[in-house]
Structure 1
Amino acid sequence: MLDRRAQTLLKTLIERYIADGQPVGSRTLSRYSGLELSPATVRNVMSDLEELGLVASPHTSAGRIPTPRAYRLFVDTMLTAQPQFDDAAFRLSVAHRLRPDQPQKVVAAAAGVLSNLSQFAGVVLTPRRSHTFRQIEFIRLSERRLLLIIVTPEGDVQNRIIASQRDYSPAQLVEASNFINANYAGLSFDEVKRRLRDEIDALRGDMSQLMQEAVEAGSEDGEDDNLLISGERNLLEVADLSSNMERLRRMFELFDQRTSLLRLLDVSSQAQGVQIFIGGDSNLIPIEEMSVVTAPYTVDGTIVGTLGVIGPTRMAYDRVISIVDITAKLVSNALSQA
């Protein structure tokens, strides 16, 4: 627990560092904190905060910078996120890009909206693919490569590539599509798989093999396709992240491999409202200088995905929280109207 004086000085230090990007000295703190304290007294408080692991002294400066632990304390106890974009013009401009008459494009547009507004990277975890189909079609790509086209009950179109064990003629592919659509449309691929176990003996060998391949392909999650990222290159302009080559390498590994981001966004989808993950205090973010602000979005009150902003720990949290919160609500509204 910090006393009021230490809390005020820490809050002032974080706000000045976010604004200026430079280590904050005792004289600056004395001037901006609103407290009647001498620089010597401020230095004593800073020493106490450093012992608590809340501030650090860069080697090149007498000033201090906040640690991830300080940012955590700041956003949890000191930050009052006032709405930054209450004006109707802002909401109207964002809502225009999230057209409810084009539901497939709403979540894709959201990543770009988040990136443009924050000037960092926008990320969206889209709703998981439906494993139920209304219709399927096979197209022959080459001797043993097929394109499986899946139309979901919602009208979404999904494509899968099948590496088949044998070659099929166009006529055989049409026959298989017609048979599957007539007998199994409206079921999930898992349900089709269960029924095939009982019915496989009654099917011709070529038909049964093709159906098994289609079911396996249709059951694939394709998780990487569920993650949309926009504006990664914006982070190259952020000195806190790009000034160190090892840090830069780890950052782009995060985007390339995606596993950590998927896990983080999946965790976020299990909670209501805005969440803030700060590197250094979260096992989900492998880079100490990086933070992620997320919020779930819904369809008719049911959480179906998560969106957020990826940026440096030195970000204007009140502004980014507002961007993420309002965008999540507008996406929810657009999808619920669709």
Structure 2
Amino acid sequence: MIVELNARSRDVFRSIVDSYVATGEPVGSRTLSRRLTEQLSPATIRNIMADLEEQGLLFSPHTSAGRLPTDAGLRLYVDGLLEVGSVTADERRSIESRVAGTGRSVETTLTDATNALSGLSRYAGLVMAPVSERPFRHVEFVPLSPGRALVVLVMDNGMVENRVVDVPLGMSPSVLAEAGNYLTRRLANRNFEEAYQAILREIAENTSQLDEIAKALVETGLATWAGDRERDGGFLLVKGQAHLLEDVTNIVQLERVRALFETIESKKSLLKLLELAQDAKGVQIFIGSENELFGMSGCSMIVAPYRSGAAGADGPDVVGAIGVIGPTRMNYARIIPIVDYTARVVSRLLGSRHGSLDDEV
């Protein structure tokens, strides 16, 4: 498509998209004639705009002469005309200071990265980590408060998952330790599903040496993981949804964004898109009606995969995806490098990258 546009058409189209990103408002031929470097009459510009509209790249939202880019037009702009910027020194420092640090769990690192993206972009930040199928090597129950404990699972690649579970009141630390030791012995070199089935069989056959209280604790911990796996399909975190309301200008848009919030809460559709991003290389951009999730909300998503330190045949394993949801008129040139840089900071912290990130940007 991009080769079909001559130089004048490209300049007019780029100016329309730039105006849309800056204001969200339609732009007319008279305004464009004052902005373009090449001196073109309003009549010439109107003819070019008519041609672009016929090609499905522009549309007129009402009877005025102003035009806006369609979702197809934005895709053409992003793929063929966009000049991506670079991450500023201040943005790098902000990302590093919010995300980097020692002794943090994976979930904390991802939460901090999501908050950093939301804060810098002023859109909703999101991150997804799929349920791990890797073997586990250690399980521990940590008392939190009366009736509550934290279950910590360490996988063979060093990544950590945790859940808060209910436990019987008055359960002693020694019973918690016994349950953790029992699971650790049987999780060695097994993935979750294998361990889950094997341990439940052993408990059902009464062959374990655990007492009844510890058995109940083990079953509770395993059931928590099983329930989360079946219901959610992975860990999904979205921060800063309120930012999506900042560009809402009418009731129709408000209802569309509210519908998007409901879809985000249901997770399933969003997880499918994020899984697509996992399978791709580099930053992925989903624009408006290109997908069912954003078709009616006027929103787009920019995501990039992040990787772990465990290398497979094709390099480090992709662990999940991180990015932002924002209006279709988001500043793609600025947000794309921010998302990319944040994903690589997270990857570095997970041990998959070495050396200076500055050399890669």
**TM-score band w.r.t. shorter chain:** 0.7 to 0.9
Q: Does 1:123 align with 2:138?
A: no
Q: Deviations over 1:168-223 (max 9, x none)?
A: 99589669727724742434443334535478264589587775555443334443
Cα RMSD after superposing both structures: 3.4
> 2:83 — aligned with what?
80
Q: Does 1:322 align with 2:337?
A: yes
> 1:180 — aligned with what?
182
Is contact 1:278–1:291 with CA below 8 Å preserved after alignment? yes
Compared with structure 1, are the counterparts of its residues 110 and 55 closer, same or farther at alpha carbon in structure 2 (3 Å cutoff)? same
Compared with structure 1, are the counterparts of its residues 288 and 8 closer, same or farther at alpha carbon in structure 2 (3 Å cutoff)? farther
User: How much does 1:109 deviate?
Assistant: 0.7
Is contact 1:131–1:219 with CA below 8 Å preserved after alignment? no
Q: Deviations over 1:205-247 (max 9, x none)?
A: 9587775555443334443771111211111111368763321
Q: How does 1:137-152 map to 2 (within 5 A)?
A: 137=141, 149-152=151-154
Is contact 2:151–2:162 with CA below 8 Å preserved after alignment? yes
SS in 1 for 2:136: coil
Is contact 1:135–1:150 with CA below 8 Å preserved after alignment? yes
> 1:159 — aligned with what?
163
Is contact 1:23–1:63 with CA below 8 Å preserved after alignment? yes
Structure-2 separation of matches of 1:180 and 1:157: 18
> 1:107 — aligned with what?
110
> 1:92 — aligned with what?
93
Compared with structure 1, are the counterparts of its residues 33 and 140 closer, same or farther at alpha carbon in structure 2 (3 Å cutoff)? closer
> 1:3 — aligned with what?
5
SS in 2 for 1:177: helix
Structure-1 separation of matches of 2:291 and 2:198: 45
Structure-2 separation of matches of 1:246 and 1:182: 49
SS in 2 for 1:101: coil
Q: Which blocks of at least 5 consecutive residues in structure 2 are unaligned?
A: 310-315, 355-361
- Of structures 1 and 2, the one scoring higher in RCO (CA 8 A, sep 6+) is 1
User: How much does 1:268 deviate?
Assistant: 0.7
Q: Does 1:304 align with 2:315?
A: no
Q: Deviations over 1:242-300 (max 9, x none)?
A: 76332132122133222222221121111111111001122343435101111111123
User: How much does 1:49 deviate?
Assistant: 1.7
Compared with structure 1, are the counterparts of its residues 182 and 260 closer, same or farther at alpha carbon in structure 2 (3 Å cutoff)? closer
Q: Does 1:219 align with 2:223?
A: no
Q: Deviations over 1:122-146 (max 9, x none)?
A: 111136356735134498999xx98
Q: Does 1:27 align with 2:30?
A: yes
Is contact 1:192–1:215 with CA below 8 Å preserved after alignment? no
Compared with structure 1, are the counterparts of its residues 101 and 41 closer, same or farther at alpha carbon in structure 2 (3 Å cutoff)? same
Q: Which runs of 4+ in 1 moved over 6 A?
A: 138-142, 207-210
Is contact 1:241–1:290 with CA below 8 Å preserved after alignment? no
Structure-2 separation of matches of 1:168 and 1:176: 17
Structure-1 separation of matches of 2:327 and 2:320: 23
Compared with structure 1, are the counterparts of its residues 290 and 181 closer, same or farther at alpha carbon in structure 2 (3 Å cutoff)? closer
Is contact 1:160–1:218 with CA below 8 Å preserved after alignment? no
User: How much does 1:64 deviate?
Assistant: 0.7
Structure-1 separation of matches of 2:47 and 2:293: 35
Percent of aligned pairs with the same amino acid: 34
* Aligned-partner residue type, residue 217 of structure 1: T
Compared with structure 1, are the counterparts of its residues 216 and 13 closer, same or farther at alpha carbon in structure 2 (3 Å cutoff)? same
SS in 2 for 1:106: helix
Compared with structure 1, are the counterparts of its residues 298 and 46 closer, same or farther at alpha carbon in structure 2 (3 Å cutoff)? same
Q: How does 1:231-246 map to 2 (within 5 A)?
A: 231-239=240-248, 244-246=253-255
* Aligned-partner residue type, residue 275 of structure 1: Q
TM-score of the superposition, structure 2-length normalised? 0.78
> 2:359 — aligned with what?
none
Structure-1 separation of matches of 2:250 and 2:341: 26
| Matched pairs, number | 331
Greater alpha carbon shift after TM alignment, 4-13 vs 62-71 = 4-13
Q: How does 1:196-275 map to 2 (within 5 A)?
A: 196=199, 197=201, 200=205, 202-203=207-208, 214-222=221-229, 223=232, 226-239=235-248, 244-275=253-284
> 2:358 — aligned with what?
none
Compared with structure 1, are the counterparts of its residues 33 and 272 closer, same or farther at alpha carbon in structure 2 (3 Å cutoff)? same
Q: Does 1:333 align with 2:333?
A: no
Is contact 1:236–1:242 with CA below 8 Å preserved after alignment? no
Compared with structure 1, are the counterparts of its residues 121 and 210 closer, same or farther at alpha carbon in structure 2 (3 Å cutoff)? closer
SS in 1 for 2:291: coil
